[in-house]
Homo-oligomer: A and B are copies of this chain.
Amino acid sequence: MPKFDAQGVLPAIATDVHSGEVVMLAYMNAEALARTIETGIAHYWSRSRNKLWVKGETSGNRQRVLEIRTDCDQDAIWLRVEVEGHGASCHLGYRSCFFRRVPVGEAARPELELAHTGEARAFDPGEVYKKDT
Contact = CB atoms under 8 A, between A and B. Distances in A.
B117 A65 contact: no
Copies of this chain in the oligomer: 2
A104 B63 CA distance: 13
Interface string A91-107: 11010011111111111
Given A37-B104, A104-B40, A2 B70 contact: no
Contact of A102 (B20, B70, B111): B70
A100 to B, nearest CB: 5
Contacts of A90: 71-72
7 nearest A-B residue pairs (beta carbon) = A34-B108, A20-B20, A69-B98, A71-B97, A68-B102, A25-B76, A1-B111
24 contacts: A2-B110, A11-B25, A13-B25, A22-B22, A25-B76, A33-B108, A35-B108, A36-B104, A37-B113, A39-B105, A66-B104, A69-B100, A70-B98, A70-B100, A70-B102, A70-B110, A71-B90, A71-B98, A72-B90, A72-B92, A72-B97, A72-B99, A77-B102, A78-B98
